[in-house]
Amino acid sequence: MEDNKMKFDSLNKEELSVVEAFENGEFSPVGDIEDRVDYWQSAVKETIKRKSIHLKLQERDVQKIRAIAYEQGIPYQTLIGSIIHQYAKNAESGSIVK
């Protein structure tokens, strides 16, 4: 029944090759799906662990950060966390000049 087939008119070449591979049976199960779900859920939990801290910052710095965050459409705490994350990442790789 041709009507029941999905239409793939807007797929690019790579996406079409994945669909074709699937239709040709080139994919195989990776084992017990429950184990895979547990594994990836555990990995996500470990990746997104958060630690609350308390900082005292200069009011003008907070105002500037809030303005930048507003322009970017994100909460200012998220922006501060991102800045700290980038700094820590760069320090770890030796990119920060002391």
| 28: containing domain | 11-49
Residue 76 contacts by C-beta under 8 Å, 6 or more apart in sequence? 62, 65, 66, 69, 70
Count up the domains in the chain and report the number: 2
pLDDT bucket at 32, cuts 50 / 70 / 90: confident
12 class by beta-carbon count within 10 Å (0-12 exposed, 13-18 middle, 19+ buried): exposed
31 and 45 in a single domain? The answer is yes
95 and 81 in a single domain? The answer is yes
Does 2 fall in a domain?
A: no
Structure tokens at 50: 């958060």
Using a cut of 0.85, tell me whether the model's pTM lies above it: no
38 and 71 in a single domain? The answer is no
55 and 94 in a single domain? The answer is yes
Tens digits of per-residue pLDDT, 64-88? 999 999 999 999 999 999 999 899 8
Q: Is the pLDDT of residue 1 over 50?
A: no
Q: Is the pLDDT of residue 9 over 90?
A: no
